[in-house]
Every structure is written in structure tokens, then in C-alpha cells.
């Protein structure tokens, strides 16, 4: 094996290669990527040397030292022996742990989740939630990750106590009768600690699937982001105006959006005591659900499921569309107040044009298909009127144009004519319209639309839960473990959303994803050095740049007793 550098854009990037013969030529196989050695510090040098030692080639270390000397690197004072005891993940874990300390996470979980004997449930759940943010591994792999992280120092929870059995048993205690009170207490503490009130509740539904067929919660249902052949469960999530998760609810996989709003709303009222405005999409916004919220005197903002044609609102708005309020983005709007509801009708010229083109495209394709059938009739390939009608019906249904195309069979033979119906001309009148309904009369038409658009934060939350935090797919099977696992995922997002809120409140232009990536660079290196006067154990953090230092201040990491950049222990 050999070490070689490649020059790119003014920097040299190093890697360990091994020559490998492939037929009649030799190719390079990368064994270890070292990277750029500019601004190399001592902990990183030692970490690289440890990785080189693991490759099992004694000649690599001298070669690496030779490269460093040629670059002018100054080694520390000579010692008789040194070794890297451990390299611990530090930044992300500490940031999330600090959040848990601030909201009294462990005590709340312990209070509402009974667990007799063994490690505290609160510490176990904190580990699982932080792991979801840092390394969403299986519960079987959790112990290995935990032992390599800095969390045992922060939690004072030895890694040998976090076994697979302990982790799995903990899920049994994370059931709705316990987790709902936990979420109530956690959300109360979040608002108290960070000083804000709940003004808005965004509610949305998603699903997650199973690869097997053993979970009794799983059913076939409307798929959201996966194939219809997968068993699934349905989960509702609720976030507030700051994007902080409030609660969640789980159902069997055949639960519909329409039937999901009432139980979520009852939970928000009865358990959390929250009367903030509910914001839901058209999947839940049926007339029945609106009437339910009116009976409960709820405040809400919804995108109406019914089309503008069915509401009759265009007839009630006396103002010509040319005089509607311009709300930007090629949209105009007008409103009507009926009872405790304010209806805002929005017309988007781009959407109207797109709808028209899409409909015309479908009709053209359907007409071509019908003409093909007509040609088959003329060539005698259709043997009965039943066969003809079956083919015609299939084409109309395929393109969804049954209302727009009329076919009339001739008295003799199987021939037919194709006509466009009056419904086609009528359909164009309603292109580009969308209806919003709210109880907030003081909001202008533009305010209503912009306020509704901010609900994309719940959609982003669900994407994060699925793609980052391991909600999708489910890798546990029993009902209790599934419910416990979803609580862990939801709690992991709650901690993450608090980090995001802190970043936003400080006015820092950085996503929480970038913040986590930045904090990932912060590691604690334990170096054992043997000198004449004895053995010293140095605990040193990796180099702290401006971005890391900014996050250290925002997340109050420097206040932690484990943060000092260098700690030294001496042994004789």
C-alpha cells in the first residue's frame, strides 16, 4: 500500500491506495481517504494515524510522517509513547442533551412512564431520541453507537447497561396512556422555557409501511410515498407555529384523512387544553369536519376540499374578477363572510392555464384512442356492440373524460360518432380556483393565503421524520413496539425542532440540517501519552472554527462542565 496526493483547486488531497491487477493492467484501489492536510491539528493527526494502523501495514505511518515533514508540520515534543484511547462524537450529542436538560426531559419521562428496576426510562429514551438524530440505526445497533458517543459522560449512564433487551423493553412503557401525558408536560415546559404561546396548530397525516406481515396494526390503505402493496399504519402529527412538534396519533393503515381530524382535535382540547387555530389541508376539510369544528367553536384555517363550483361562491361574489384584490404570484382573491366562516376564493392564472392544457391533452389522447377503436370497427375487428362499448368505456375512464366526450352508436353496424359535450365548455369556467375557509375575520385575503402556505413546515417535518429520523419503514413488529418506536421518532423530531427554533430566534441564516453537519465535526479525542514523569491522558476537542463557535453560543454548549477544550490527568 502507498500514500499519494492528488492536486485539486490549489489543495492536495491524500489517500491510501493499493495496486490491484485487473486482467492485463494494474488499477488503484482506495483503502483509506485521508483528505486535505491543510491546517492539520494534533487530534486529527493522531486520529489519522490510528486509522492507518488499522490497515495493518507498518510502513504507512513513516510514509505519513514523511509527507507531514515535507509540508512543514511541526510534531509535538518527543514522547516515549502515545496512543489514541478513543474518539467520541461530541457536538450534536451535547446540543441535543442540553435541550433535554432545559425541558426537564428525563424527569418527565420517568414520572409518567413506570419502569421498575434497571436503568431509568428517561435516560434510555433520551439516548434513543438523540441517536435518531445522529445515527438512526436499529435498536440492535444502538449499544455500539452509544458506546462510541460522548453521551455516557453527559448522562452518567454506563454504555454496558444499555443492552438490546433493556432498549426493547423500554418500548413497552412508551404507550399512549403514558406518552400523551409525557407530551403534554414536555410541550408545557417547552413553551415556558423558551417563552412563547401556542398560536397555531398545523395537522397532517402520513403513513409508514412494513416489509413483513406480522404487525396487527398494519393494514392496506391509501399509500403515501410507497407502493400500494405494502402493509402500513397511519400517523397524524401536529406542530405549532414555530415548527415544534406538539403530539402525534397512530391508527391502522386503512384510516382515512377525513376521519382523523376529530380524534386529534379532541386530544388537543382535552389533554393539551390548546384552543389555537387549527390549520389542515383539503384532505381533512370536509363539510362534516367544518361543521364539527363550528360546533366546538374552534378557530381554523383550511383549504376547502369542495370545488368552487359546488360552493356557489362565484355567484355570491358580486365583484367582477378583474376587480378582485391582487395578492401576488399571478393571483387575485375575493372573500365572502357567511356565519362564523370567511370564505376566500383565489384565482391563479397560471394554474388555470395549466388545468386547461392538461384537460385538453387528456381529451386529445382519448379522441385518438376512440378513433383507433372506430378504425377497428370499420375493419371488422369488433364483433359486437358490447365489445365496442367496453372498449369505448375503457378509453374514457383511462383519461377521465367521460363527462366531456359523448359517443353515439349508429343504427346499423357497430360504428359510432364522437362529440364534445357542453360540460367541457363549462369546466373551463372553474379552472384555477381554490377556496380557503377561516374563522379569522381580521385576516385579509392575502394574509389568509400566506398564512396557509406556512403549513409547509408540517410537510417538511414529515419528510424529516421519514428520511432522516428513521420513521420509514418500521423495523419493529409488535403493536407495543411500533407505538413505542413512533414515540421515539416523534420525540427525536421534537428535540430537533427546538434546535431549529433556537437558530431562527437568533436570526442565524442556517438550516438545522447544516447545523447538525457542522456540529458533527466537533469531536472529543482522548490521547494517552507516556512520558518520563508518568502517563498523561489528554482530552481535547477538535479544532473549533467560527461556525462551530457560533453554534456553541446559541446552544449554550460552553456552559457544560464537559466542554473545556483540554483536560489532563496524570498518573505515576
Boundaries of every domain in the chain: 1-75, 303-442
Please calculate the CA angle 452-433-304 and round it to the nearest 5 degrees.
50
**Sequence-separated (6 or more) residues with CB below 8 Å from residue 190:** 103, 244, 494, 498
CA 515 to chain centre: 16
Residue 332's pLDDT is what? 96
**Residue 132 and residue 167: Cα distance in Å, rounded?**
14
Residue 495's pLDDT is what? 96
Q: What is the pLDDT of residues 126-141, one digit of tens each?
A: 999 999 999 888 888 9
Residues 311, 316, 322, 327, CA torsion sign? negative
* Cα–Cα separations (whole angstroms), residue 263 to 82, 236, 249: 61, 10, 9
**Residue 200 and residue 242: Cα distance in Å, rounded?**
9
* Residue predicted with more confidence, 543 or 395: 395
> Nearest to residue 96, comparing CAs of 549, 540, 520, 536?
520
pLDDT band at 283 (very low <50, low <70, confident <90, very high): confident
**Residue 504 and residue 487: Cα distance in Å, rounded?**
25
Yes or no: say if 170 and 115 are a contact pair by the CB < 8 Å rule: yes
**Residue 567 and residue 536: Cα distance in Å, rounded?**
10
Q: Cell 479525542 appears where?
A: 525
**Residue 394 and residue 106: Cα distance in Å, rounded?**
60
Cell numbers describing residue 458: 408540517
Yes or no: say if 133 and 92 are a contact pair by the CB < 8 Å rule: yes
Yes or no: say if 92 and 521 are a contact pair by the CB < 8 Å rule: no
pLDDT band at 208 (very low <50, low <70, confident <90, very high): confident
Average pLDDT over residues 154-173: 92
Rg (CA), the chain: 31
Average pLDDT over residues 167-178: 94
Yes or no: say if 221 and 232 are a contact pair by the CB < 8 Å rule: yes
Residue 83's pLDDT is what? 58
Element (H, E) at 546: helix 546-554
**Residue 133 and residue 488: Cα distance in Å, rounded?**
11
Mean pLDDT of the chain: 86
> At residue 40, what are phi and psi to the nearest 5 degrees?
-65, 130
3-state SS string for 233-252: EEEEEEEECCCCEEEEEEEE
**Residue 506 and residue 188: Cα distance in Å, rounded?**
22
> At residue 60, what are phi and psi to the nearest 5 degrees?
-70, -40
Average pLDDT over residues 456-481: 81
Residue 256's pLDDT is what? 77
Amino acid at each position: 500500500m502507498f500514500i499519494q496526493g492528488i492536486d485539486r483547486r490549489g489543495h492536495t488531497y491524500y489517500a491510501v491506495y493499493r495496486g490491484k491487477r485487473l486482467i492485463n493492467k494494474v488499477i488503484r484501489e482506495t483503502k483509506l481517504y485521508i483528505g486535505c492536510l491543510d491546517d492539520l491539528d494534533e487530534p486529527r493527526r493522531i486520529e489519522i494515524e490510528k486509522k492507518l494502523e488499522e490497515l495493518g501495514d507498518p510502513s504507512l505511518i513513516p510514509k505519513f510522517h514523511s509527507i507531514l515533514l515535507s509540508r512543514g508540520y511541526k510534531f509535538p515534543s518527543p514522547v516515549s509513547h502515545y496512543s489514541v484511547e478513543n474518539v467520541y462524537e461530541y457536538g450534536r450529542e451535547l446540543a441535543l442533551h442540553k435541550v433535554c436538560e432545559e425541558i426537564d426531559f428525563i424527569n418527565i419521562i420517568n414520572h409518567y412512564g413506570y419502569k421498575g428496576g434497571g436503568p431509568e426510562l428517561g435516560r434510555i429514551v433520551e439516548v434513543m431520541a438523540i441517536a435518531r438524530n445522529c445515527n438512526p440505526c436499529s435498536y440492535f445497533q444502538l449499544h455500539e453507537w452509544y458506546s462510541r458517543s460522548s453521551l455516557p459522560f453527559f448522562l452518567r449512564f454506563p454504555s454496558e447497561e444499555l443492552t438490546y433487551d433493556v432498549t426493547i423493553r423500554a418500548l413497552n412503557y412508551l404507550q399512549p396512556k403514558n406518552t400523551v401525558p409525557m407530551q403534554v408536560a414536555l410541550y408545557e415546559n417547552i413553551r415556558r422555557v423558551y417563552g412563547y404561546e401556542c398560536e397555531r396548530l398545523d395537522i397532517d397525516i402520513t403513513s409508514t409501511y412494513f416489509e413483513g406481515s406480522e404487525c396487527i396494526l398494519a393494514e392496506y390503505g391509501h399509500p403515501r410515498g410507497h407502493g400500494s402493496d405494502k402493509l402500513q399504519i397511519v400517523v397524524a402529527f401536529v406542530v405549532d407555529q414555530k415548527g415544534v412538534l406538539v403530539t402525534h396519533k397512530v391508527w391502522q393503515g386503512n384510516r382515512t384523512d377525513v376521519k382523523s381530524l376529530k380524534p386529534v382535535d379532541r386530544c388537543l382540547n382535552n389533554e393539551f387544553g390548546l384552543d389555537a387555530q387549527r390549520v389542515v389541508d383539503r384532505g381533512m376539510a370536509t363539510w362534516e369536519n367544518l361543521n364539527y369544528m363550528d360546533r366546538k367553536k374552534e378557530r381554523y384555517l383550511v383549504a376547502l376540499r369542495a370545488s368552487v363550483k359546488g360552493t356557489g361562491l362565484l355567484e355570491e361574489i358580486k365583484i367582477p374578477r378583474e376587480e378582485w384584490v391582487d395578492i401576488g404570484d399571478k393571483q387575485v382573491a375575493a372573500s365572502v363572510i357567511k356565519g362564523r366562516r370567511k370564505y376566500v376564493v383565489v384565482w391563479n392564472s397560471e394554474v388555470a392555464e395549466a388545468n386547461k392544457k392538461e384537460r385538453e391533452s387528456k381529451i386529445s389522447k382519448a379522441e385518438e384512442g376512440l378513433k383507433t377503436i372506430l378504425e377497428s370497427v370499420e375493419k371488422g375487428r369488433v364483433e359486437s356492440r358490447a365489445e365496442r362499448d367496453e372498449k369505448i368505456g375503457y378509453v374514457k375512464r383511462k383519461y377521465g373524460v367521460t363527462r366531456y366526450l359523448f359517443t353515439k352508436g349508429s343504427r346499423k353496424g357497430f360504428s359510432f360518432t364522437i362529440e364534445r359535450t357542453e360540460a367541457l365548455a363549462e369546466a373551463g369556467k372553474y379552472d384555477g380556483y381554490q377556496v380557503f375557509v377561516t374563522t379569522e375575520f381580521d385576516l385579509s385575503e392575502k394574509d389568509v393565503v400566506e398564512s396557509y402556505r406556512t403549513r409547509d413546515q408540517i410537510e417538511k417535518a414529515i419528510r424529516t421524520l421519514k428520511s432522516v429520523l428513521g420513521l420509514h419503514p418500521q423495523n419493529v413488529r409488535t403493536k407495543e413496539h411500533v407505538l413505542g418506536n413512533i414515540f421515539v421518532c416523534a420525540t427525536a423530531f421534537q428535540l430537533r425542532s427546538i434546535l431549529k427554533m433556537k437558530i431562527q430566534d437568533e436570526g442565524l441564516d442556517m438550516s438545522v440540517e447544516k447545523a447538525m453537519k457542522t456540529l458533527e465535526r466537533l469531536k472529543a479525542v482522548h490521547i494517552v501519552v507516556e512520558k518520563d514523569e508518568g502517563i498523561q491522558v489528554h482530552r481535547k476537542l477538535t479544532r473549533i472554527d467560527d461556525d462551530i463557535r457560533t453554534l456553541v453560543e446559541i446552544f449554550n454548549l460552553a456552559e457544560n462542565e464537559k466542554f473545556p477544550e483540554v483536560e489532563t490527568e496524570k498518573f505515576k
